[in-house]
């Protein structure tokens, strides 16, 4: 596998031994830690075929929350250099407990979000975006144009030009995506199905003890976890 030819991303992914990680992998039908497709749950109010359809897009990326969005490796960088840089970054950031999760619909798709603001999470995302940007090849104009079709504010346009993605820095919103965009009665019905499934996962603070380097061999392939890097820095006094 030529890792210089694909895309990388820095994501938060819950520890694979946790109920949250197991739920996410089973709901999406894919475990990004192992690269294995899984049987999705049998649900009374939605067929397996339809569940597979509405989770197809998030399944492609694995159960995660974006910290640094997917990027092609710059010609001046190597996969080994990137791995070393992620490890060094993780060694400078302290682990923390984020607020508990809650289910929310964002622009039509269902996701788990933080129940309140979390400055340490915002800081972690900003550090990943800025601290690893030397490894990012400039986004092609076709990708920038695709982002603009969503309708960006001037600030988001500035962020797109600077960082290759409009929803970073103060525009960052932590979320673990669960579905594609759904509308109307179906969106409400899927939310009602998800609610009792995620309630047990939303009772305790979210442990944030590592960042993950994900890799996608080509645009058709799913992302996989290349490495998990523990946050071992010391908290500010």
Are residues 31 and 175 in contact, defined by beta-carbon separation less than 8 angstroms?
no
| Domain 3-145+173-230 annotated CATH 3.30.1330.40 | no
pLDDT tens for each residue of 67-90: 999 999 999 889 999 999 999 999
pLDDT for 1: 41
pLDDT attached to residue 2? 45
211-224 tens-digit pLDDT: 999 999 999 999 99
CA distance 98 to 113: 11
**Mean pLDDT of the 133-141 span:** 94
Reported confidence tier of residue 197, pLDDT bands at 50, 70, 90: very high
> What pLDDT is recorded for position 77?
87
pLDDT of residue 183: 87
User: What pLDDT was estimated at residue 236?
Assistant: 56
Question: What percentage of the chain has pLDDT greater than the value 70?
Answer: 97
Whole-number pLDDT of residue 137: 96
The position carrying tokens 């899984």 is 38
């Amino acid at each position: 596998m030529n890792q210089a030819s694909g895309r990388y991303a820095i994501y938060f992914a819950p520890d694979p031994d946790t109920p949250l990680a197991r739920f996410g992998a089973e709901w999406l039908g894919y475990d990004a830690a192992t690269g294995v497709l899984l049987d999705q749950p049998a649900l009374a109010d939605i067929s397996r075929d339809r569940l597979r359809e509405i989770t197809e897009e998030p399944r492609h990326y694995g159960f995660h929350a974006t910290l640094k969005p997917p990027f092609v490796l710059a010609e001046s960088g190597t996969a080994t250099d990137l791995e070393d840089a992620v490890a060094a970054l993780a060694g400078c950031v302290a682990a923390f407990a984020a607020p508990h999760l809650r289910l929310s619909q964002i622009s039509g798709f269902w996701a788990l979000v933080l129940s309140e603001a979390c400055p340490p999470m915002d800081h972690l995302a900003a550090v990943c975006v800025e601290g690893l940007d030397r490894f990012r090849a400039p986004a092609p104009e076709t990708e920038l144009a695709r982002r603009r079709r969503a309708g960006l504010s001037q600030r988001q346009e500035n962020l797109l030009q600077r960082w290759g993605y409009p929803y970073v820095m103060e525009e960052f919103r932590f979320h673990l995506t669960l579905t594609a965009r759904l509308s109307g009665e179906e969106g409400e019905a899927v939310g009602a199905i998800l609610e009792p499934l995620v309630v047990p996962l939303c009772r305790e603070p979210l442990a944030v003890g590592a960042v993950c380097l994900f890799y996608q061999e080509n645009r058709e392939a799913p992302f996989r976890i290349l490495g998990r890097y523990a946050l071992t820095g010391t908290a500010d006094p």
